[in-house]
Chain A
Amino acid sequence: MKYNGSFADNIIASRLRDCGPMDPERNAKAADEGGCGVTGFACSIPVAGRHIFEPSIRMHNRGNGKGGGIAAVGINPSRLGVSQDELDSHYMLHISLLEPSCLPTLRETFFDPYFDVAKEELLGHVPDHREIEGLEIKPPEVLRSFVRVKPAVLEKFIKETGLDGMDPRHAEDEFISRNSFRLNKQLYSSLGDKQAFVISHGRNVMILKIVGYAEHVVQYYQLEGLEAHVWIAHQRYPTRGRVWHPGGAHPFTGLNEALVHNGDFANYYATSEYLRQRGMEPLFMTDTEVSVMLFDLWNRVYGYPLEVIIEALAPTTELDFDLLPPETQRLYDSIQTTHVHASPDGPWFFIIARNIPETRTYQLIGITDTAMLRPQVFSLYDGDVQIGLVCSEKQAIDATLRSLAAEDPRFSPVADKYWNARGGSFDDGGAFMFSVQPGENGGRELVCQNKFGVPVPVTSRKPLDITKSVHKPEKHAADIDASLQEALEKGDAQRIFQYFRTHASWWDYNALRWAVSRIGRAASKSTKALPHAIDALTLLIDRRIPLGDKKNSALIRIVSDQLYEILRTLPRIAGGAQLGHFALVDADTRNQLRPPIAIETTLVVDAKDFVAEGDECDASLLSDAYKMGWKKFIVFDLRGQRFEGCGFGPKTEEIRIDLYGSSGDYVASGVDGMEIHIHGNAQDQIGQIMKKGTLVIHGDVGQCFLYGAKGGTTFVLGNAAGRPLINAAGRPRAVINGTALDFLAESFMAGDPLAGGGFVIVNGLTRDEDGNIVFLDRPYPGSNLFSLASGGALYIRDPHRKVVDEQLNGGEFRELSDADWDLIRPYLLENEGHFGIKLDDLLTVDGVKRTPREVYRKVEAVPLAVLRKIPETDDSVWVTAAASAAV
């Protein structure tokens, strides 16, 4: 869709004429958008609307039920009453009739003179909105209409606007967009009592929104069975409470796209002004509308390629800019110069679903801002079907996949890949798109690319067919049984793990599943074997092993299912007669919580049905149980529940908590002494103000890890997202085996690590599918490292000296001393114990073992003038006095 410049000029000129003088007073923003919960997925096959349900419910705590919306792209026409051709060629208008009596006027003014209508209907809905629990406000009637512009009308429009020579389809797009604008202006924004507005008008794009939660949209308009390739949903958290109509809810549309947004701009006024100068007037007064207008302007009017649009939204800066190829630098420089005053400033994360009719491609795009201030997780599963997902939280992804897998065995509840985008970066550009394109033999295939169009590699391994029943594998059965039996008798979980490690690559899925089930069988038969079986399965979840042609995601699925099965058959807390080392409690029996009896040591919590926060949540149960005397906890099948480990108070050295599943935000925040293991990825704000204790994360960790931490020892197997250790003071000690997106150890104030202060070790590595260590090309790619730090140290594995001075702002490189190595070596050894990452491997560079000094570098804070030596003052008087007073 390339236009030459004059078309853009003509379109803008005619829009400016059309809009007439704009009222600058109306620049005021009507609603301050909070953050929100956003989720979306794109799939190679059309999937039903009910699957956007689960993730929406899981993100209730990111919205407040005052605005929810969904969008679908690439819809299966069978339920729409039109043919595929009509769906592809016609504009699919959805008009929200806030005041249904306005319909005749609306038709007369905006339809009859211009459109040929192929089909028109009022959307069906449940008779009474009160039947849907929690839906308080009646959603509006929605008119759906499939239209084309009458040829004569279009011809006249082309002539008047000066678009001769332009692809008539693009001119028709522009006509539709202008007609909707006029409708919105006349029937929505200019009125005190709003009557109607266009929700969406693109081709094969549907948007619906209400005052309520997103899943209510699906329920109310009965979309459970409607199938589409791309779905997005949005839970809104508007701060203005009494919104009685859904005009401000997301998604918003440009033409063929739907955009949802989590965040808030600081430069709403400037951006609106930029749009105004180009003949575009915001009518709904939210950031989100403005965002999609920018996208539409750059996409449809200026004809920019997607990479350029993303650059205009999230400019590449600092070191990342320097690392771009020179020709890209020149291009980006001119984009930034031209559009930087419209580039949304502030925390934002966009998810866009769009239809590209020219190439019959349905696309899902996730774009993060340069500073990465909003949470975002991408993921991809590639099997018999392919699906790409992007959400605010990993748990929403897992909820979607679980919902799909429960219905269609071609899906898996565990994705192959989970990752974060690095905003405005030279490597991935902070954006990924999943394109559902026409594939071979009439089907469709999904391709995932980053901002620069570089495809994200997918594994070509065989997917697991869960529907096949497991039978005894003739070839391996005897060996498996003998080896597992021996290891379980000896109570040696490591040995079981090693056995899998050396043997699993030769097995097929059947043998693998059978072997795992044998562990389960042993656990169910012998209480002695039980803890070792749990340990062995845990190791299989935490670490990767060579699997031959099988997928790691499949192994995790098989092992988790087995582990949960074992845990769910443990004696129940309310059971009475049966006592063991473990006692199981779930949401239904939470009120029957009691102190441990006899040999009971471990409280096992089935987190599945617990709420995410509040007095009834599992984290609250844990701290109550601690007060009753429980010291060891296993929490499993987590679905985004938050705050585990919080509320226990000081001095909790004897406690250990193991978390399985999709753990939520704020885990281990404020802990003082306890040990927490997160098996799998962790989310945002983990370990905030941590004081003491051990935290082991067998995966990646989200935003603001260890914010304001004062101490404690933490180990992360994977990456940390933005801002790890920000504002940490005192003596926190962290080992991050992967890397961080950016802003690592900003405002670090942890004194001198050699004199008891804090530090962070970054190893800059990742693991391949078989669990082998792969060192990253750049151990730390971000442009900001140790910024404004006044204390503490960073030890980074950087044998090729890839980290440069430009990345430091307040820090400086130091040679690693013997004392430094003596300090960090025990932590690296402990790291080896937790993750199996060998110290020797860390010191090996390109096959040769090196000295620590050659491999690790130290970054310290530059001593500042304000750090002056001051005389000792004595506060012991008060401490003594306080102690005596407390007695």
Chain B
Amino acid sequence: MHYKNIWSEVPLREVIATPSRFRRGLGKYTVMVSDACDHCLKCVVVCPENVFGARGNKLEPPRDHLCLGIECSKKSNRCIANCPTAAIRVGVNPSIKALGDRRWTADLLMSTWYMAETGILPKNDLEYRVGGSQGGFDRLRFVFPKRPPKPDLDKNDIDTSITLNRRSDSREKIDIPIPVYGGGMSFGSISQVTMLSRIRAYAAWGSFCCTGEGGYPEILFPFDDHIITQVATGLFGVREETIQRVKIVEFKYAQGAKPGLGGHLLGDKVTPAVARIRETVPGSSLFSPFPFHSVYSVEDHKKHIDWIKAVNKRGLVSVKVSTPSDVDMVAVGSYYAGAHIVHLDGSYGGTGAAPDVAKKNIAMPVEYAIPKVHRFLVDEGVRDQICLIASGGARTAYDVAKAIALGADGVVTGTSDLVALECVRCHNCESGRGCARGIATTDLELVGLMDLEWGTRRIINMLSCWRDQLREILYRLGMSSVRELVGRTDVLAHLDYNSNVQDDDIRQAIY
């Protein structure tokens, strides 16, 4: 692999092909080569996607996750027709039936893996935009005009940046080049390699990534300017020093995946390293309470924000809340209390560590919460003073664009980053030692399954592909900046109310 391995440097933003770390990547199609193969290597020549490769005179096992599909293989100028010994068979991979869930379908997992590997959209028929949940973002479609309204727009000039501090105060004005930053996943719930991979990737993109509740490990110090540190209800690992290091401090009032519940980290995951960072005792289960015990009202909330502002005189304050039915009041209250960012965390997100009963049954769906809050803030006349960020189940570039069209300024992601690192959504996160992919674990042996530079590149590639998709979507809508998309619900259609919705696939346009 031809990348540098200096972990403390902010890596370059460029796309570098980063194949699966396992011997064979999982793909939608499986390509089998029987013993009849005589290693004529004709398939290597005819395949447009590099599925076949040769080592010396011998055919390598096919990289079937790159395969464009059965139809392609049957064309006269492709592999099957050109195999003299009829040794090649292409079919649908039976494993996909066991892969994923309705929210993260096998297609979505594999298309994200593909983006993370190549930095481009999959060229076969993988569904890369929506999952199969029959709800949420999966029921929304973009309605593109027949022709791009401004065909002269240079796609490379389309601005995808957003401003995080929109208040007219003395604090730093921060722009990020993509409307996405990384959500809080604490050290302890994910490994150091995972944490660092995410942060380095977002740093490469000039964006931010949140530490989550688990404190601020020293390894992150080189990336201070790209880190959001979290002050959560348990206050684990929160020190003046950590608050002062960063440009953005995030209050976690609630988590959309489990509103009304505190965080929990079972004893198994509290290794000495985790305990040291959180300033607690190894092996002792850590629970953070569901409320801030010092904040039972909005004037307490203001006081709390004032406190952080007294400790860090330059930084921005983000307030992360879940989406109860009065979330609009909460957002306005946060604005008046002096917050820069209101972060709505909807209920679709959450790794396997959040209890299912909470994940799927509490709080308002985020696609309802975003416009509700957006409009309320507009009516209040303060919308242009605050940055509204949405999270909770934004899996794809399309989800990001939809959230923005619903009224958010930007989006926070979490699970997609882990999928880019080849998470298979097995839902064993909470068990600590159970992460088969070495992502959400603190076990040293499992952590060793992943290399830092590999992880970084995978996420950089995915974000690169997301940016390209966003630009294409904006181009189709005739917008020169993602800021124009905010609150444009008119460019969306909901399948429940519109039966005749055009396909919003942009794959053909990009490639």
Contacts and interface: CB of A to CB of B under 8 A. Distances in A.
Interface of A: 29, 31-37, 61-64, 237, 239-242, 262-264, 347, 373-374, 613-615, 617, 619-620, 623, 642-643, 646-650, 665-666, 669-672, 684-685, 688-689, 691, 703-704, 707-708, 710-711, 723, 726-727, 729-730, 747, 749-752, 757, 788, 790-791, 864, 866-870, 872-875, 878-879, 881-883, 885-886
Interface stretch (B103-111, B129-137, B283-291, B409-417): B283-291
Contacts of B352: none
B293 A37 contact: no
Contacts of A685: 294, 303, 307
Interface string B232-258: 011110111101100000000000000
B289 A747 contact: yes
Contacts of A874: 273, 444
B368 interface: no
B271 to A, nearest CB: 5
Interface stretch (B52-60, B112-120, B214-222, B418-426): B214-222
Given A239-B332, A649-B244, A643 B234 contact: no
A757 B380 contact: no
Contacts of B243: 670
B306 interface: yes
B285 A790 contact: yes
A35 B299 contact: yes
A619 B306 CA distance: 11
Contact of B297 (A34, A615, A710, A885): A34
Interface string B269-302: 0111100101111111111110001101111111
Q: Chain A interface mostly helix, strand, loop or mixed? A: loop
Given A613-B303, A711-B279, 5 more contacts: A61-B306, A614-B306, A647-B313, A878-B273, A881-B7
Interface-centre pick from A672, A751, A870, A879 (highest chain B CB count, 10 A)? A870
A615 B170 CA distance: 10
Interface string B82-106: 0000000000000000000000000
Contacts of A691: 239-240, 279
A788 B287 contact: yes
A37 B299 contact: yes
A745 B470 CA distance: 50
A685 B235 CA distance: 13
Interface-centre pick from A685, A708, A791, A881 (highest chain B CB count, 10 A)? A708
Given A751-B284, A886-B221, A620 B310 contact: yes
Given A241-B336, A689-B235, A648 B293 contact: no
A875 B294 contact: no
Contacts of B329: 31-32, 239-240
A241 B383 CA distance: 13
A347 B267 contact: no
A757 B279 CA distance: 11
B356 to A, nearest CB: 20
Contacts of A864: 285
10 contacts: A34-B333, A61-B303, A617-B310, A643-B310, A646-B240, A723-B293, A868-B268, A870-B268, A874-B273, A878-B192
B235 A885 contact: no
Contact of B266 (A37, A62, A866): A866
A879 B235 contact: no
Contact of B281 (A34, A704, A751, A873): A751
B8 interface: yes
Contacts of A669: 307
A32 B192 CA distance: 41
Instruction: Report, nearest first, the 7 A-B pairs whose CB atoms are least far apart.
Output: A35-B297, A34-B298, A708-B235, A875-B273, A239-B333, A882-B218, A751-B281
A711 B310 CA distance: 21
B326 interface: yes
B464 interface: no
A647 B294 contact: no
Nearest to A861: B284
A684 B301 CA distance: 13
A689 B238 contact: yes
Contacts of A711: 279
B495 interface: no
B272 A873 contact: yes
Q: How large is the interface on B (under 10, 10 to 19, 20 to 34, 35 or more residues)?
A: 35 or more
Contact of B221 (A64, A689, A885): A885
B310 A727 contact: no
Interface-centre pick from B233, B326, B442 (highest chain A CB count, 10 A)? B326
B382 interface: yes
A672 B281 contact: no
A61 B192 CA distance: 41
B284 A873 contact: no
B239 A704 contact: no
A870 B282 contact: yes
B162 interface: no
Contacts of B288: 727
B235 A347 contact: no
A262 B240 contact: no
B442 A873 contact: yes
A727 B235 contact: yes
Nearest to A666: B307
Interface-centre pick from B233, B270, B333 (highest chain A CB count, 10 A)? B333
A798 to B, nearest CB: 26
A213 to B, nearest CB: 13
A61 B297 CA distance: 13
B311 interface: yes
Given A665-B303, A875-B273, A878-B217, A729 B285 contact: no
Given A237-B299, A242-B380, A649 B280 contact: no
A29 B325 CA distance: 11
B373 interface: no
B307 A643 contact: yes
Interface-centre pick from A32, A750, A757 (highest chain B CB count, 10 A)? A32
B297 A672 contact: no
B239 A689 contact: yes
A723 B296 CA distance: 13
B283 A869 contact: yes
Contacts of A264: 296-297
A691 B240 CA distance: 9
Contacts of B309: 613-614
A611 to B, nearest CB: 11
A730 B271 contact: no
Contact of B218 (A708, A791, A869, A879): A879
B235 to A, nearest CB: 3
A647 B310 contact: yes
B285 A262 contact: no
B370 interface: no
A731 to B, nearest CB: 9
Contacts of A727: 233-235, 288-289, 293
Contacts of B379: 242
Nearest to A869: B283
A364 B313 CA distance: 42
Contacts of A790: 281, 284-285
Contact of A646 (B276, B287, B298, B311): B311
Given A670-B311, A873-B442, A643 B306 contact: yes
Contact of A730 (B234, B268, B279): B279
Contacts of A883: 218
Interface in B301-342: 301-303, 306-307, 309-313, 326, 329-330, 332-333, 336
Contacts of A242: 379-381
B378 to A, nearest CB: 12
Contacts of A33: 297
B307 A646 contact: yes
Contacts of B270: 870
Contacts of A619: 310
A649 B310 CA distance: 11
Contact of B238 (A704, A708, A879, A885): A708
Contacts of B297: 33-36, 237, 262-264, 347, 374
B222 A885 contact: yes
